[in-house]
Structure 1
């Protein structure tokens, strides 16, 4: 589903600097010496981008839930800025200002991996793969360090992929009205058209691969038409651009079976993938990062995978501890 130009998606994660700026503006306007110039500057900032206004409204909602200040007293303070500032009023204003900044900080923390994992409807830790079945029969496999929220309503079925990677096999609707099935990431939306597909969320771009059926990819701020991908096709995309449509190997879903299939893969990339499936730090010496590897490796026993690598290549695996491993030239 495309989003009209200039309209922000209500489910897209807000950038941390925007939330911080909104918190500071709110605290500033609650200060005793806030001026009309401050209010005009804040209004201009809110109008600069839809995400600015969305962050402001978000903190307004949090403000409404602050329980540390009596509601009637807060209302009186905020609706009578023309009155002289009494010591009681100054104290309350500081409480309100600090409360909103703290609320903003809590929202900022919710964007971090640990909070996303803690607060998400479904999540996995490092090295963990989990399969779940949704109420409509859809099967979802969560890769390591994945956080996912579920938004099933009367009009659509939506997954919010906050971080990580998922493999989705969509179920069939049982109700009389069909609800579209969509996966939302920070960069845009992927709509399933009866299919099996994977989505991987990154900081700057997302990646989608289709194994059965079709999907429609709609970046948030791209002026072009949505892109249709069929079985065996994949693509990377950002909020503003779509990359070229590339072939997807049938074995690209092997991770859901605990297997990594490498075909002429650089050692650095292979070790980065293995590192997602084990605890601790797995380092690659830059001197051997460009070596290329082909083979089948276990994601459920990454120590065995590393041993197989060392047996087949001129490298050695150094274990300082089970959680601090370096791969270097032999």
Structure 2
């Protein structure tokens, strides 16, 4: 007998994949208003984030040392194929990979690299640029975020899944969440499922869409998780009335070219939109068109100046 909820789930995954494809296409802005209404529904948001994660994961290329690595340029280009992969995983693919034994070691990315790694238990860790993880998977599944940002999709397994970043410890329960550790402090953002964050003797549960930030000053701030970061595994960021300098600073985390603003007042121009920030050769001309600037590229520097 067919489970009606399974059919509804498949339909939602297909719908999320269609939206993901639209919002990555050249006509994304004409869909923006309709997408914002659709994305505001928590179930839709969770499905969209899952489609984003599947896109970042792409095709599982090879299994080496208990996990699969995907180079930055090997991301899947076909969202429909990614949706089929999601269906396979949702139908038990995670469980088939779970319980595969121990895994110890370091996983790291270089500047400009985003890489998805499938761990020995079937969980996925997507590492942002210049990120370093220490893995200890045995009786307990434990990951230490040394620095950078990572997204975790936790596979079902009787063992606890624990991520440590600085003074913060995250205990996950079959969920999707981001953890960031940088000079400004640490942060946890929950996209789907349930986690508890322990920090300085305080244990705080998070609901989807919530986050916690430990600032460099030591303060612990509870906040709404920024939806602008939902697509970072695909190298995409969303800005709302942000300073142009902030957009440039985000892009310069990826390199290899460096974006530079040349001229008074450019840094404070306000920017709203969805941008691929990990490819400066695509980003620079788009920003130039928005503000009537000219682009000058020389010796690894891309300069935006007034025309």
User: How far is the alpha carbon of 1:204 from its aligned partner?
Assistant: 3.9
Question: Structure 2 CA distance, aligned partners of 1:228 and 1:172?
Answer: 19
Question: Structure 1 CA distance, aligned partners of 2:198 and 2:305?
Answer: 42
Alignment match, 2:136: 151
In the alignment, is residue 298 of structure 1 matched against residue 276 of structure 2?
Answer: yes
Alignment match, 1:122: 107
Alignment match, 1:203: 183
Alignment match, 2:154: 170
Cα distance, 1:123–1:291 mapped onto 2, change above 3 Å: same
In the alignment, is residue 185 of structure 1 matched against residue 170 of structure 2?
Answer: no
Question: Structure 2 CA distance, aligned partners of 1:122 and 1:266?
Answer: 33
Question: Structure 2 CA distance, aligned partners of 1:235 and 1:146?
Answer: 20
User: How far is the alpha carbon of 1:146 from its aligned partner?
Assistant: 0.9
Question: Structure 1 CA distance, aligned partners of 2:239 and 2:217?
Answer: 31
3-state SS in 2 of match to 1:135:
coil
Q: Which structure dedicates a bigger proportion of its chain to strand? A: 2
User: How far is the alpha carbon of 1:239 from its aligned partner?
Assistant: 7.8
User: How far is the alpha carbon of 1:281 from its aligned partner?
Assistant: 2.9
Question: Structure 1 CA distance, aligned partners of 2:234 and 2:109?
Answer: 16
Counterpart selection for 2:145 from 161, 166, 183 = 161
Alignment match, 1:136: 121
Of 265-274 and 297-306, deviating more is: 297-306
Deviation readout 1:227-276 (Å, 9 max, x if unpaired): 22110111211488453322224452211123222222221111111112
Mapping for residues 103-114 of structure 1, pairs under 5 Å: none
Q: Structure 1 length as normaliser, TM-score?
A: 0.56
In the alignment, is residue 318 of structure 1 matched against residue 296 of structure 2?
Answer: yes
Alignment match, 1:260: 237
Mapping for residues 1-330 of structure 1, pairs under 5 Å: 121-154=106-139, 156-173=140-157, 178-219=158-199, 222-223=200-201, 225-238=202-215, 241-284=218-261, 287-321=265-299, 323-330=300-307
User: How far is the alpha carbon of 1:141 from its aligned partner?
Assistant: 0.7
Question: Structure 1 CA distance, aligned partners of 2:109 and 2:168?
Answer: 22
Question: Structure 1 CA distance, aligned partners of 2:261 and 2:223?
Answer: 28
Question: Structure 2 CA distance, aligned partners of 1:260 and 1:300?
Answer: 9
Number of aligned residues: 202
Larger Rg: 1
3-state SS in 2 of match to 1:290:
coil
Instruction: Check whether the contact 2:120–2:137 (CA below 8 A) recurs between aligned residues.
Output: no
Question: Structure 2 CA distance, aligned partners of 1:228 and 1:240?
Answer: 22
Q: Structure 2 length as normaliser, TM-score?
A: 0.60
Segments of structure 2 that go 5 or more residues without pairing to the other structure are: 1-104
Question: Structure 2 CA distance, aligned partners of 1:271 and 1:240?
Answer: 26
Question: Structure 1 CA distance, aligned partners of 2:121 and 2:219?
Answer: 30
Of 234-243 and 210-219, deviating more is: 234-243
